Amino acid sequence: MTAPVPRVVQAGLRTFQCAYERYVEEPFRLGQFVAVREGPFVAAGVVTDSASGPEDPSRPLQPRGADGQTAAQVMAGNPEIRLLLRTRVSVVSCGYIEGHQARASLPPLPPPLLARVEPATDAEVALLTRDGAFLALLLGAPGCDDAAVAAAVRSAALAFAAEAREFTVRAGKELARLLRADPARLTSIIRGLGE
């Protein structure tokens, strides 16, 4: 079975939201870099939140299942439920790639509605994050809290493989520069880098 691909359901320059066709247990993770490759450029973003629940708010999910049953067993016994649930993921823009040029600034256009949202490749992540400039966008984005920023740095470090430590140090210095007037927030994010 192929992995489900979410699509853009709400699009803005600073943030966008994507939704899976139904409920998925393992959507994009907090801090993961994603890419929308439909349109004149590759729009890139960082996952800041995800939520699952009923598509129809007038039909709240009831706590079904017998004692001892796992979620998977309850789902298998109630095959309609998964189809009535939806997983949504919130994304903050962190730049875009045009040709081979990466820009850590807001994209000129929002990603197209219903475009496929895919994981960014390691090469794309490295291109977007190498100089740490993406952090300014994240820190200023609504809904991008300290945990999401720290998770994004951890996630980006993975793209640098053997140079992950050097990247993390560079990112830490950039954070210190951007947050010199807000030491409490800086501390919170730096602590998150070690998780």
Partner 1 sequence: MTLRMEQVLPQLPAVVAAYAAGLESMNEGLKVAGSALSSWSADPEGCDARIRAAMTGSSQPYAVSLLEPPGAVVPAPPFTPVTVVAADGSSIEPDRFAPVQCYVVNVGFAVLPYGTAHEAALGAHCTVGPPAPESEGEEDAGMEDSGPRAWGVNLLRDVVELETGARLAEESAAGGPTVLLLDGTLLPWDLDSRQVADSTRRELVGRTRLALDRLASCPGRTGVGAYVSGSRSSDVVNSLRALAAADGMAWPGSDGHLFATRLRDGERSAVFRAASERVRRVEEFFAGQHDVCFFYLRIGGDIARVELPRWATTAEQVARLHATLVDQCHRCDGYPRALQEAHEQAVISGGDRQAFSRALEAEASSHGLRAATNSKQMSKRRRGL
The residues binding partner 1 (CB under 8 A) are 56, 59, 77-80, 82-84
Q: How far apart are the C-alpha atoms of 147 and 168, rounded to whole Å? A: 15
Whose CA is closest to 139, among 148, 126, 130? 148
Residue closer to partner 1 (CB basis): 21 or 182: 21
117-136: buried (b, 16+ CB within 10 Å) or exposed (e) per residue? bbebeeebbbbbbbebbbbb
Specify the residue, 59 or 180, whose C-beta has the smaller distance to partner 1. Answer: 59
Closest distance between partner 1 and the C-beta of residue 26, in Å?
A: 20
State the nearest-atom distance from the C-beta of 190 to partner 1, in Å: 46
* Under 8 Å between Cβ of 146 and 192: yes
Q: How far is the CB of 23 from partner 1 (least distance, A)?
A: 12
Q: How far is the CB of 78 from partner 1 (least distance, A)?
A: 7
Residue 29 or 64 having the CB closest to partner 1: 64
Least CB distance from residue 80 to partner 1, whole Å? 5
Closest to partner 1 by CB, 57 vs 99, is 57
Handedness of CA 144, 146, 151, 154 (dihedral sign): positive
Could you tell me which residues come within 8 angstroms of residue 186 by beta carbon, excluding any fewer than 6 positions away? 175, 176, 179, 180
Complex with partner 1: residue 87 or 155, whichever CB lies closer: 87
Query: Rounded distance, CA 102 to CA 112, Å?
Result: 19
- Are 33 and 157 in contact, with CB atoms under 8 Å apart? no
